[in-house]
Chain A
Amino acid sequence: MDNEKDILEVRNLQVNFKTYAGDVKAIRNVSFDLRKGETLAIVGESGSGKSVTTRTIMGLNARNADITSGTIMYKGEDLLKKSEKEMEGIRGQDIAEIFQDPMTSLDPTMRIGRQIAEPLMVHKGMKKEKALAQALEMMKLVGITDAENRINDYPHQFSGGMRQRIVIAIALINYPEVLIADEPTTALDVTIQAQILNLMKELQDKISTSIIFITHDLGVVAGMADRVAVMYAGKIVEYGTVDEIFYNPKHPYTWGLLSSMPTLDTGGDELPSIPGTPPDLLDPPTGDAFAARNAYALKIDTEQEPPFFKVSDTHYAATWLLHPNAPKVTPPDQIVARQKKYAEMQQNLVKQQRPNIPVEEEEEQQ
């Protein structure tokens, strides 16, 4: 273990999907750590491999998935070497997942109290009455109103937001060490989304779970994450603390993602957009997979894959722009504005002498 605080260590993970057209290289050498009590957000477009990564951790990949290399260390053991039977003991007990769609992830024919109690009965062999009593406590904890009377209701009797609370209750009933939240609020309205996100933060403090939060909504990431990993075409292209990613991003893909989202004060006639579409992972391009869509691409990007360059102790980005010999480029206006805001924030911090906040080291690029 590199770090005592790491609860999950993913190293050199590669996952292919066998299809008639050939092997789709969905995950291409992904490594990351999850620390105790933190929220790690994985962001990226559909097809970038964020859901496949977590499904591999859970051992829930489709049958045509082929894990060609890598390790996933949890409590000193490699999850990839576990049998299906052993994984069943871990899922819902040590590692639990909140799925995107609360409509389809609940059993419509089972009373919700029973659904929340089920992990206790399965994993802990608890008697039904006792499990239901705990389920009731959990329902109160996740804010289901009038829990005593609703414990015997069916999922269809609840609204979307309440159903997602039930899904969260099921995931948390065993106080898992790791909680995977795959787009948990995408199907919800903004007001309900805000409630669910607040609830997740609150519960995380109470039971000190580590969360892997998957989403494409950068606004949600800004509010939830301690650290962020940006994925593109089956790879992590940049990772760092939430402040480093939002205020001092280094990878042109992160630049593009951040600028193409209008904030409430974006104006103008044209929204900065990333041209083109993600590459076909049946046959990933040589070099940097983002090169074809990248206005800042260098010649070497089409020839050789960039390694991770260190920006700070916590911040790494895989782009040749960080190479000492790379030409100096100016990021898009929006990113420059973000960097400026960050610099001001840092200055204020120095004035206030608040420790514990990492101070950014400006690298050669700036």
Chain B
Amino acid sequence: MNYENAEKILEVKHLKQYFNVGKPDEVRAVDDISFDIYRGETFGLVGESGSGKTTTGRAIIHLYEPTAGEILFNGKNVDTFTSKAEQREFRQDMQMIFQDPYASLNPRMKVKDIVAEGIDINHLAKDDADRSKKVEDLLETVGLNKDHSSRYPHEFSGGQRQRIGIARALAVDPKFVIADEPISALDVSIQAQVVNLMKKLQREQDLTYLFIAHDLSMVKYISDRIGVMHYGRMLEIADSDEIYAHPLHDYTKSLLSAVPVPDPEFERTRQEIAYDATNENDGKERKLVEISPRHWVRAADDEIDMYTQRAHEASLIKR
């Protein structure tokens, strides 16, 4: 991915997503995060459960009303889409692939009706023949057979169902796809198939992905850039190779040190790095700072020097 002339497709600005606002059990699921996603890239979002990564994805596709902040899609604020036409266009351009291929397909609908639901709502098919043709093409694109269109979801394996979910997302010709843990429910050998399919579709259809996952090795493989979330905050953003080779934030270091690697020799010598989260809540004001080119770390003013020093040590900054 070349970022020289890259154009922003999505801008998230100071997004806050709180639940039970004002009540004793207020949850700050997403607490003031900002990041951009460029057209054609895959942006990986990683973090532990409860870090707010799924909430971020859902807020972007406007399943929630944000507590504060703005989400700009193609430069337009998605909150201010008032006309039906604008809303429909937004929902056509942005689609989602869900985690659970069992729960996300209606068991009472045939595959062709599941896939064509978006086509019907957006009146994208001229007639029944055109609709069937579109569905069959989509099934073929995701590696299924056109004979599969009159079957029900329960007749498919997990990997095949996830392909149906992908076909449904692609039916309306989206520009931007949010994939929330799309492979974590699948077996190892099937995961690779689905990831390869997603990469192929991205090349062919010029898609932009927001890939949310906790499987760090798969995220690194598929993503161009990665954002690390913790406690509802974005702690570090960098190119995926760089963040894995030279993490600057202590939390990222700790997270990466815990990833099991399928190499016994490596595992025997592995050192886990513990992370002390108390620093995050010491009351200092922190924001994302670009420490080295396109490598952002959440830092307080008096921490910038420390991170710059780390970047120097990792030769991320040329003196």
- Known pairs A45-B188, A262-B218; A193 contacts B260 (CB<8 A): yes
Cβ of B159 < 8 Å from any Cβ of A?
A: yes
Whether the Cβ atoms of B266 and A222 lie closer than 8 Å is yes
One digit per residue, 1 when the CB lies within 8 angstroms of any chain B CB and 0 when it does not, for chain A 239-261 equals 00011001100000000111011
Q: How far is the CB of B274 from chain A (nearest CB, A)?
A: 9
Whether the Cβ atoms of A223 and B217 lie closer than 8 Å is no
Whether the Cβ atoms of B258 and A193 lie closer than 8 Å is yes
Within 8 A of B (CB), among A262-290: 262-264, 266-267, 269-275, 277
- State A184–B12 Cα separation when bound (angstroms): 37
Within 8 A of A (CB), among B130-163: 157-160
Q: How far is the CB of A245 from chain B (nearest CB, A)?
A: 9
Cβ of A46 < 8 Å from any Cβ of B?
A: yes
Q: How far is the CB of B134 from chain A (nearest CB, A)?
A: 26
Whether the Cβ atoms of A217 and B192 lie closer than 8 Å is no
Whether the Cβ atoms of B196 and A263 lie closer than 8 Å is no
- State A264–B242 Cα separation when bound (angstroms): 11
In chain B, what residue has the closest Cβ to A191?
A: B258
Cβ of A358 < 8 Å from any Cβ of B?
A: no
- Chain A contact residues (Cβ within 8 angstroms of B): what range? 35 or more
Whether the Cβ atoms of A194 and B188 lie closer than 8 Å is no
One digit per residue, 1 when the CB lies within 8 angstroms of any chain A CB and 0 when it does not, for chain B 229-266 equals 00000000000000010000000001110111111111
- Known pairs A219-B260, A277-B159, A277-B160; A263 contacts B217 (CB<8 A): yes
Within 8 A of A (CB), among B201-218: 214, 216-218
- State A170–B272 Cα separation when bound (angstroms): 27
Whether the Cβ atoms of A272 and B192 lie closer than 8 Å is yes
Measured between beta carbons, the chain A residues less than 8 angstroms from B214 are: 189-190
Measured between beta carbons, the chain B residues less than 8 angstroms from A133 are: none
Whether the Cβ atoms of A223 and B221 lie closer than 8 Å is no
Cβ of B48 < 8 Å from any Cβ of A?
A: yes
Cβ of B286 < 8 Å from any Cβ of A?
A: no
Within 8 A of B (CB), among A150-208: 160, 189-194, 197-198
One digit per residue, 1 when the CB lies within 8 angstroms of any chain B CB and 0 when it does not, for chain A 204-226 equals 00000000000011111111000
- State A191–B253 Cα separation when bound (angstroms): 11
The size of the chain B interface, using a CB distance under 8 A, is 40
Measured between beta carbons, the chain B residues less than 8 angstroms from A219 are: 217, 259-262, 267
Measured between beta carbons, the chain B residues less than 8 angstroms from A191 are: 48, 254-255, 258, 275
- State A190–B258 Cα separation when bound (angstroms): 6
One digit per residue, 1 when the CB lies within 8 angstroms of any chain A CB and 0 when it does not, for chain B 187-199 equals 1111111011001
In chain A, what residue has the closest Cβ to B143?
A: A275
Per DSSP, chain A at the interface is helix
Cβ of B14 < 8 Å from any Cβ of A?
A: no
Whether the Cβ atoms of B262 and A221 lie closer than 8 Å is yes
- State A28–B244 Cα separation when bound (angstroms): 42
Whether the Cβ atoms of A264 and B199 lie closer than 8 Å is no
Whether the Cβ atoms of A222 and B261 lie closer than 8 Å is yes
Measured between beta carbons, the chain A residues less than 8 angstroms from B106 are: none
Cβ of A343 < 8 Å from any Cβ of B?
A: no
- Known pairs A45-B188, A222-B266; A194 contacts B261 (CB<8 A): no
- State A261–B263 Cα separation when bound (angstroms): 11
Whether the Cβ atoms of A220 and B221 lie closer than 8 Å is no
Measured between beta carbons, the chain A residues less than 8 angstroms from B287 are: none
Cβ of A345 < 8 Å from any Cβ of B?
A: yes
Cβ of B49 < 8 Å from any Cβ of A?
A: yes
Measured between beta carbons, the chain B residues less than 8 angstroms from A193 are: 258, 260
B188 touches which one: A192, A257, A269 (CB < 8 A)?
A: A257
Whether the Cβ atoms of A264 and B255 lie closer than 8 Å is no
Q: How far is the CB of A293 from chain B (nearest CB, A)?
A: 8
Cβ of B88 < 8 Å from any Cβ of A?
A: no
Within 8 A of B (CB), among A128-152: none
Cβ of B123 < 8 Å from any Cβ of A?
A: no
A266 touches which one: B193, B221, B264, B267 (CB < 8 A)?
A: B221
- State A189–B265 Cα separation when bound (angstroms): 23
Measured between beta carbons, the chain B residues less than 8 angstroms from A273 are: 189-190, 192-193, 196
Most chain A beta carbons < 10 A, residue from B199, B264, B268, B270:
B264
Q: How far is the CB of B9 from chain A (nearest CB, A)?
A: 22
Q: How far is the CB of B288 from chain A (nearest CB, A)?
A: 22
Q: How far is the CB of B246 from chain A (nearest CB, A)?
A: 13
Cβ of B8 < 8 Å from any Cβ of A?
A: no
- State A197–B261 Cα separation when bound (angstroms): 13
Cβ of B220 < 8 Å from any Cβ of A?
A: yes
Whether the Cβ atoms of B159 and A189 lie closer than 8 Å is no
In chain A, what residue has the closest Cβ to B51?
A: A189
25 contacts between A and B (CB under 8 A): A46-B158, A192-B48, A197-B260, A216-B187, A217-B260, A218-B188, A219-B262, A221-B262, A223-B268, A242-B264, A243-B265, A260-B189, A262-B217, A263-B263, A264-B216, A264-B217, A267-B221, A270-B196, A271-B192, A273-B190, A273-B192, A273-B193, A274-B189, A274-B192, A277-B160
Chain A positions within 8 Å of B, measured between CB atoms, are 45-46, 160, 189-194, 197-198, 216-223, 242-243, 246-247, 256-258, 260-264, 266-267, 269-275, 277, 341, 345
7 nearest CB pairs, A to B: A219-B260, A273-B192, A223-B267, A260-B192, A274-B189, A262-B221, A218-B262
Chain B positions within 8 Å of A, measured between CB atoms, are 48-49, 157-160, 187-193, 195-196, 199, 214, 216-218, 220-221, 244, 254-256, 258-268, 270, 272, 275
